[in-house]
A and B are shown apart, each in its own frame.
Chain A
Amino acid sequence: MADVKNFKRIAVCNRGEVAVRIIEACHQLGIEAVLLHSQPDIGTRAYRMADDCVLLTGDSPYLDIKQNAEAAKKAMADAVHPGFGFLSENADFAEAIIGAGLSFIGPMPDSIRNMGDKISAKKLMEEARVPCIPGYKGEDQSLDRLKSEATEIGFPVLIKAAAGGGGRGMKVSRSKADFAEQLDSAKRESLAAFGSDQVFLEKYLENTKHIEFQIFGDQYGNYVHLFERECSVQRRHQKIIEEAPSPSLDEETRKRMAEAALRAAEKVNYVGAGTVEFLLAGQDFYFLEMNTRLQVEHPVTEYITGKDLVQTQIKVAMGSPLPFMQSQIEKKGHSIECRLYAEDPYKKGIPSTGEIFHQKFPKGEGRRFDYAFDPGDSVTSFYDPMIGKLIVHAEDREAACKKMIEVLQETEIFGIQTNIDFLVEIINHPEFFTGVMTTGFIEEYFSNALGEKKWSEEELQVVEHLMIQLANQHTQAKEQPLSAWQDAWRNV
């Protein structure tokens, strides 16, 4: 058994609400947290909560491997927590941290590397008998070969440019009859866009759901799963609402997916918290990718299992064995998370920046708020617009949906526009409420977010009331009236 180290000080190489989450977990374990932060992030909760702060410099300080590794060492940290995003899935960063004599709170660099490369990941998963999306990536590009491979995969088949990205050179062939035509079209587009007409084939999955399994490994070869999360509500591959458990899995499929996720973890000798993502079509599932880090949506798993994932990450990185066995992990109730974005849903979701004047979260039983800013702080345009997460836990899904609606409607934020009204509309949508939504949900029903804001008569009456009161207060203070048109109004 390897030695168990006792971390006294952890460097947090991240920002925003996840930095807050890590600092809190450190404090709960009696560990000091040092925040390595950028200049604009001085005005954030993480900066105020950390025991120590180190200012990073340069244009992209959170992506600077050398600077972060050196700063963590200089700050006398025993370990580094990378959070999610930024350097969290960068094998070179993990190596630099280990090379500097610190512990990396995450998997070994090789695990990150193997899972980071899509082709090697798929190969490893096939070896581990984890179902992958059937496909063909061979050198033989003759029509006969491609057509026979497509038939083998089963129609509909997606034809993708090998060099491609962003949907260009991508065509769907629905049958053998239209295959040659779609292939020609994909090759032409691919050649024009990428200078190569080599293609890959893949089974085209329709009406899929995004289901992921939370797994955990320790340094002694123990692996557990903490059930699944469903994250089908996405916009441009960015998740908006996540929940656990999934409303779409039957128990038999849940068991098969859990086993596949554990085989995936074992295959890459995974240590720490990881997530195996799958696409679910009916009750068939296919490996998508593995995220070798903490996930944004980890709180829903914490709620249904009662386990603290961040504390567990730290303990496992110290060399402790997993603090729970599979038989000690049970799921209870239903949890939903909404990501709070600083954006205007009435203007197609454009980011909103500025000072937060007022912010009040409706705290209570089964309600959790992970957030980055306090009133007086400013949301800047330097980073991702996610400013926090609202999480609820209730006895079943319907109760959780209702609780989330309450939380959303009671959350007060002035100074920046947020997606709260959008989230309410999504949860109230029949497809979400009944749990049948797929990854195409947002595009199908909310491609324009909420459209232009329309003021109701009642809301305008409230505006009028407020304007009059404010104007009166101004007048009493012997100041200028609020606006020119106020002068013509008088009380009856």
Chain B
Amino acid sequence: MKYLGIKLDNLSTRIPVHRHGSKLWFHFNGKNHCYEIPNRASGDQENAEAAKGIFKASMPGKIMKVFIEKGQEVKQGQVLMVMEAMKMEYAMEASFDGTVVELNHSAGDQVSLGDLLVRIEKQEG
């Protein structure tokens, strides 16, 4: 059995892990867990959502920086916000030129998995 080390805020431990196909099995905190790893299809779905201008939190975490305001016009590739989850940063980039029509969080906010963070709409014409 493979054991991997993990470091959380106040916990450092090694836990047994087994990956089989899209399933990630591990034993943590007195329980056996089976996590369904998002496959390419749902990765595509995330990409598809980003292509429509919808950004959701793919992990629970914290909003670090917000570079935009509601109603602001953005260019394709412009960084909208930066999110952090467990010492990892994730920058969200606009997938097309558009306008910020929804912005639900500001820097410092804690967000949950699946929370809608930003929505941009394509510029007419």
Contact = CB atoms under 8 A, between A and B. Distances in A.
A253 interface: no
Given A358-B25, A412-B16, A491 B87 contact: yes
Given A466-B6, A484-B40, A458 B29 contact: yes
Nearest to A482: B37
A488 interface: yes
Nearest to A489: B88
Given A357-B18, A491-B88, 14 more contacts: A358-B25, A411-B32, A412-B27, A412-B32, A414-B34, A420-B32, A421-B31, A460-B113, A465-B7, A466-B17, A485-B43, A485-B58, A488-B91, A492-B84
Interface residues of B, number: 43
Contact of B88 (A409, A415, A492): A492
Contacts of A492: 84, 87-89
Interface in A450-472: 455, 457-470
B9 to A, nearest CB: 9
Contacts of B84: 492
11 contacts: A358-B1, A360-B1, A412-B16, A415-B18, A461-B86, A463-B24, A467-B37, A483-B39, A488-B91, A489-B88, A491-B88
A490 interface: yes
A464 B43 contact: no
A485 B28 contact: no
Which bucket holds chain A's interface residue count? 35 or more
A124 interface: no
Contacts of B73: none
Contacts of B54: none
A409 B43 contact: no
A455 B31 CA distance: 12
Contacts of B71: none
B32 A465 contact: no
A180 to B, nearest CB: 54
A173 to B, nearest CB: 46
B85 A464 contact: yes
Contacts, number: 108
A252 to B, nearest CB: 40
A483 B26 contact: no
A301 interface: no
B4 interface: yes
A73 to B, nearest CB: 44
Contacts of B34: 414, 417
Interface of B: 1, 4, 6-8, 15-20, 24-35, 37-40, 43-44, 46-47, 58-60, 84-91, 113
Contacts of B17: 466, 470
A219 interface: no
Contact of B59 (A357, A417, A458, A460): A460
A410 B90 CA distance: 35
Given A413-B32, A414-B25, A462 B8 contact: yes
Contacts of B20: 357, 415
A153 interface: no
B8 A461 contact: yes
Contacts of B90: 488-489
B26 to A, nearest CB: 6
A487 to B, nearest CB: 9
Nearest to B91: A488
Given A414-B25, A462-B28, A463-B35, A484 B46 contact: yes
A157 B35 CA distance: 50
B24 A467 contact: yes
A460 B4 CA distance: 15
B4 A466 contact: yes
B6 to A, nearest CB: 4
A483 B59 CA distance: 14
Q: Which 5 A-B residue pairings sit nearest by Cβ, starting from the closest?
A: A484-B43, A409-B30, A414-B25, A465-B6, A412-B27
